Chains A and B, each alone.
Chain A
Amino acid sequence: MQTRREMMTRSAAVTLMLGAAGVLPAQAQSAWNKGAFEGKSIDDVIKGLGLAKPVESKDITFTAPDIAENGAVVPIAASTTLPGVKRIAFLVEKNPTTLAGVFEFSDAVETSVATRIKMAQTSNVLAVAILGDGKVLYAQKEVKVTLGGCGG
């Protein structure tokens, strides 16, 4: 019976081999953007994603709570009806690493996504919309993170 470690090393090796053979579907081959995910500031992340400087826009609907009872789970959502938006990235300014995630949309889906993030402390949270022509727009909101009590 294989140990979990053996299985994972095996599967990683298989993945590598299949990737090298060009067998894996295209999306699995796009490398995880380490540089952007290790960025410790909004500027770091924008640079890591190779983007132009973002411009604030009222055309992005960004939903986030004013107060998060617990920073471990903060529900956020962003949507826009602007044409040409290919990706939406969520940034948490004061997190140890600022970039939470980047969503990429095909024409088959609305440019709209909801997810849940972790916040280390009260911080500005940004929804950055990246257009196909290189334009970068954002909406931001301050989310207060409380400690909560010891019940419930």
Chain B
Amino acid sequence: MSDPMRIRAQVQGSGAVVRVLMSHEMETGLRKDAAGKTIPAWHITEIVAALNGQTVMTAQWGTAIAKNPFTQFTLKSAKAGDKISISWVDNRGDKRTDEAVVA
């Protein structure tokens, strides 16, 4: 089971800035362990961001997104109390969704 994301959504003007910290190894598949064996690639492949149930942004990620990824984007129109949900899927088929409320 993966650790929860940290999602902060703060009202800014008529919209809101959303900042997300995800907990994920984002292993490139290029590293070797102490025994010399290649550590297999393990990374988030897709993310979906939704506002009040509607998808507002998606992304496809490769191995070059940093470990414990940080993402920031801006909603054009949002108000306090709106619900943000962020989901990710990784190349092992693991997935996770976390929610937060715009403050």
Contact = CB atoms under 8 A, between A and B. Distances in A.
Interface string B66-81: 1101111111110000
B35 interface: no
B56 A8 contact: no
Contacts of A112: 73-74
B10 interface: no
B61 A101 contact: yes
Interface in B14-67: 15, 26, 28, 30, 45-46, 48-49, 51, 54-67
A96 to B, nearest CB: 6
B60 A105 contact: no
A15 interface: yes
B54 A109 contact: no
Nearest to A11: B93
Given A27-B46, A115-B69, A109 B56 contact: yes
Contacts of A104: 57-59
B63 A116 contact: no
A42 to B, nearest CB: 14
Nearest to B65: A101
B74 A101 contact: no
Nearest to A105: B57
A110 B73 CA distance: 7
A51 interface: no
Contact of B71 (A12, A30, A105, A113): A113
Interface in A12-44: 12, 15, 25, 27-28, 30, 32-33, 37
Contact of B59 (A95, A96, A103): A103
A118 B15 contact: no
